Amino acid sequence: MSVVTGVRKGSVAAIAADTLYTMGDRPRRYGFFRDTSKLVALPHGGFVGVVGSTTNLMVMRSLVREHPKKLKLTSIDTIFRSLLDLQPILEERYRVRIDEDDDEQPYDSNQLELLVVNPHGIFHLLTYREVIEVDRFWAIGSGADVALGAMHALYDRIDDPLEIARAGALAAAELEITCGPPIEAESVDLLA
């Protein structure tokens, strides 16, 4: 369970995330474990925030290391094509589970929900390869509702997108039992 926030304002975009992991009912709090980051640096600049299973984070780190040229994350269309190209790798190399007996499932899932913040903008990537470009701010994960409320309250009052993204993630860490501090945050300059 997690929260990842993204904010775009002026010529800067920012991303923030909590650092709490859970193993069933037991939290893995910051300070007891070495790497609790939910943000992965991208090879062409920017970051991706990962929610869901801890394995999703390991898969994303591996994709960045082993397939950086396949991660074209510059627009809705290039991201969608990248996700299509990565699907066989996800299924074969990382054993993403596909439920072929589920007639309700419209497409094979990649099992990943991600928030990308890079020089091209902010993009929410969902499990069926949906790609949504974010204009102002967004949040994903179990603490998303709390984070969205906090960022909505602050967006027109604060100029710094990093401060807004951090405040959204911190609100979720304080008020959502499945999220926890400290908050990590990064920013990128947007292309004109």
Contacts of 65 (CB under 8 A, 6+ apart): none
In this predicted model, which residue has the larger pLDDT, 192 or 168?
168
pLDDT of residue 33: 67
Give the end-to-end CA distance of the chain in Å, rounded to a whole number: 35
Q: Is the pLDDT of residue 192 over 90?
A: no
CA dist 76 and 81 (Å) reads 9
Domain limits, the chain: 3-97+107-142+151-189
Lowest-pLDDT choice from 13-27, 109-123, 168-182: 13-27
pLDDT tens per residue, range 21-49? 776 666 666 666 677 889 999 998 999 99
Maximum CA extent, the chain: 50
DSSP string, 29-40: -BTTBS----EE
In which element (H, E) is residue 4 found? strand 3-9
DSSP string, 46-83: -EEEEES-HHHHHHHHHHHHH-GGG---SSHHHHHHHH
pTM of the model: 0.91
pLDDT tens per residue, range 42-86? 998 999 999 988 888 999 999 999 999 999 999 999 999 998 888
Q: Is the pLDDT of residue 114 over 70?
A: yes
pLDDT of residue 35: 74
What is the CATH class of 3-97+107-142+151-189?
A: alpha beta
Q: Is the pLDDT of residue 124 over 80?
A: yes
Q: Is the pLDDT of residue 88 over 90?
A: no
Lowest-pLDDT choice from 80-84, 156-160, 170-174: 80-84
Amino acid at 71: L
Cite the beta strand spans of 34-190 per DSSP E.
39-41, 47-51, 113-118, 121-125, 131-134, 137-141, 184-189
pLDDT of residue 101: 61
Which tokens hold the place of 45? 């600049």
In this predicted model, which residue has the larger pLDDT, 136 or 103?
136
